């Protein structure tokens, strides 16, 4: 997972606040994926983005969650009005060629909502 940079590593938010999670893909990768992992569970797909485009957001909750991958800068996963159930580890992965499925993960952001 070297090269995919996520920050912050840990984020604490009070209920109702906004959380912003950032991801810089590996150099040369233009495909970014966000996954969520609850304790003791596997990763669950949330959204797939290319530069300036959302390609697949089938795993994103319908409300409060949004993602972007601007032409310049990192990809952002934004959670508005956080609730306790949003507490989880959020991982970003990048891929050079999406069709092959090979994806490299960052170290994750652990969100705790208090």
Q: Which residues bind another protein (CB under 8 A)?
A: 1, 4, 6, 31, 33, 35, 41-45, 48, 55-56, 58-59, 91, 93, 95, 98-108, 110
Task: Please tell me the distance from the alpha carbon of residue 108 to that of residue 22, in angstroms, as a whole number.
Answer: 10
Six-digit token string for 16: 């109702």
Q: Which is nearer to another protein, 9 or 15 (CB)?
A: 9
- Contact (CB, 8 A) for 90 and 36: yes
Shortest distance in whole angstroms from residue 40 CB to another protein: 8
52 or 102: CB nearest another protein: 102
The rounded distance, in Å, linking the Cα atoms of 77 and 66 is: 6
- Please state the closest distance from residue 17 (CB atom) to another protein, in A: 23
- As measured in angstroms, the least distance from the Cβ of 1 to another protein is 5
Kindly give, in sequence order, each residue whose CB lies less than 8 Å from that of residue 62, ignoring residues fewer than 6 positions away. none
């Amino acid at each position: 997972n070297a090269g995919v940079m996520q920050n912050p590593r840990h984020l604490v938010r009070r209920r109702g606040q906004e959380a912003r999670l950032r991801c810089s893909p590996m150099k040369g990768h233009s495909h970014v994926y966000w996954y969520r992992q609850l304790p003791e569970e596997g990763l669950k797909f949330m959204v797939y983005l290319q530069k300036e485009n959302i390609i697949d957001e089938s795993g994103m909750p319908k409300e409060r969650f949004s993602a972007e991958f601007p032409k310049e800068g990192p990809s952002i996963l934004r959670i508005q009005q956080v609730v306790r159930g949003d507490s989880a580890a959020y991982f970003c992965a990048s891929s050079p060629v999406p069709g092959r499925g090979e994806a490299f993960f960052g170290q994750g952001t652990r969100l705790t909502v208090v």
